[in-house]
Amino acid sequence: MVYTLASDPEKAGRARRLIVAGGTISVQVLNEAANVPRRKRAMEWPDITAWLSVLRESLTVVPVTVETHDLGLWLAERHCLSPFDAMIVAAAVLADCDTLWSEDMHDGLVVLGRVRIVNPFRSP
């Protein structure tokens, strides 16, 4: 979702189209999304809050629960994911998503036969 702020118009446009199409976002992703523009772009907090509000209004937000945490730890071990990435994958599994868009995770990995990780910027 951070790519909606990218200087690369192709990546920014693709990210915006994914949001407009709707979907689900975990609180873990919102947390990371708050960190990146602050750290990398020195974005001001009011701007970050406004941007996150748009994401929250456009997408269904799912919480990080103890169930998410437990599944995430199991997925981290099983699929060699970072704990942070595994929490995102766990939230997608628990929300019954079929696609998880991520440039940073294992493109093409299918988790529990249900959630496929897809890099939205890969060439067809």
Fold exhibited by the domain 2-118: Rossmann fold (3.40.50)
Alpha-carbon distance of 34 to 51, in angstroms, equals 9
Q: Where are the domains of the chain?
A: 2-118
pLDDT of residue 26: 96
Condensed to tens digits (0 to 9), the pLDDT of residues 16-37 reads 999 999 999 999 999 999 998 8
| Cβ neighbours around 18 below 10 Å, total | 18
Give the strand order in the sheet containing 115-118.
99-101, 115-118, 110-111
At 11, is the pLDDT very low, low, confident or very high (cuts 50, 70, 90)? confident
Q: What is the mean pLDDT of the chain?
A: 92
Stretch among 6-15, 26-35, 63-72 having the lowest mean pLDDT: 6-15
Give the Cα-Cα-Cα angle 114, 25, 93 (nearest 5 degrees): 20
DSSP β-bridge partners for residue 95:
none
Condensed to tens digits (0 to 9), the pLDDT of residues 78-116 reads 999 999 999 999 999 999 999 999 999 999 999 999 999
Alpha-carbon distance of 78 to 17, in angstroms, equals 32
pLDDT of residue 1: 64
